[in-house]
Amino acid sequence: MATGDTSPALTREQGLDELDLLARIEHSLCVEYLSVSYALGRGAPPLAAEDVGERVQQASDRAFGLAKHEMRHMHSINQLLAAAGRLTQLGRAASIQGGSGAEISLTPPSAAELEHLLDREREIATAVDARHAQLTAALEAEPHAFDDELLGRITSFLGLDHLDFLSEIEEELQRAPAIPPTVYLRATRRDPANELERSLLELSDRLYGVVLATVRVWFAHDNQPGDDELPGKTEALSAMDALDASAGLLVRHGLLPAFTLPH
């Protein structure tokens, strides 16, 4: 811990509560970065202008990669929770506190929020990195809440820099000549215009529910031997591919998946 850091030490239960919240934040980040990737046109035909189209596609691919990265984080946190005797956490955080103390919404971005896409993602990334740093300091303060092995597993992913990852997306969209939002935003609507679009949104939500149901089985049995034989893992990965394909159909209509949480 850095000299002069006065972050109070956490008890074991407080530390586990923080990890539980962090799992929900990671789920929200998965949805956030998937929304960004789809807004940038994942699944739609490339833009006509070759260089611009390639850059927007690269940015979309990087956002999709970030979503997968956060999924792995959520998996790691759930492994830690299970190792400590806690239940699987697949909920989603509604917001995260920013540097000013104000809450930053983590609900799927609206069309208005996507118009300021990079500002929004920078604000979220800064808040997540700050929370990670604060939690790391609190966990490392004495007396330690966890043994050295568990603490090492926790802090190994808390030190990752979300702003650094975001810079790869910014680079594609902002390097000269910068691409304006009116060009790189391919899908921003969330309300269907006709019965076909309503059906596609419903399909997407059903598949999102299947993803969560199969991931829950996977995470709940993550201590089983044989990584490729984990109950639910194969089904979860297949459901994720199906969700991605259905989202591509929406994007071609200028729509974004709703990511409605099942009741």
The pLDDT of residue 152: 81
Q: Would you list the DSSP string of 118-143?
A: HHHHHHHHHHHHHHHHHHHHHHHSSS
The pLDDT of residue 3: 39
Across the chain, mean pLDDT equals 90
CA 123 from chain center: how many Å? Answer: 14
Q: Which SS3 state, helix, strand or coil, does residue 255 take? A: strand
Q: Which structure tokens are listed for 226? A: 């044989």
Closest alpha carbon to 120 in 136, 130, 105: 105
The pLDDT of residue 105: 96
d(CA 195, CA 26): 33
d(CA 42, CA 35): 10
Closest alpha carbon to 174 in 251, 122, 110, 109: 122
Q: Tell me if 235 sits within 8 A of 219, measured CB to CB.
A: no
Closest alpha carbon to 181 in 127, 119, 122, 126: 119
Across-strand partners of 104? 96
First-to-final CA distance of the chain: 42
| DSSP H or E segment with residue 58 | helix 50-83
d(CA 35, CA 64): 9
Q: How far is CA 204 from CA 28, 36, 54, 96, 209, in A?
A: 17, 16, 26, 26, 9
Whether the predicted model's global pTM rises above the 0.85 cut: yes
Each residue's pLDDT, cut to its tens digit, for the chain (263 residues) gives 343 455 688 888 998 999 999 999 999 999 999 999 999 999 999 998 889 999 999 999 999 999 999 999 999 999 989 888 899 999 999 999 987 889 999 999 999 999 999 999 999 999 999 988 888 888 888 888 888 888 888 888 787 788 888 998 999 999 999 999 999 999 999 999 999 999 999 999 999 999 999 999 999 887 655 555 678 899 999 999 999 999 999 999 999 999 999 98
Report DSSP state, residue 103.
E
Helix segments in 141-161, DSSP class H: 148-158
Burial of 86 (0-12, 13-18, 19+ CB in 10 A): middle
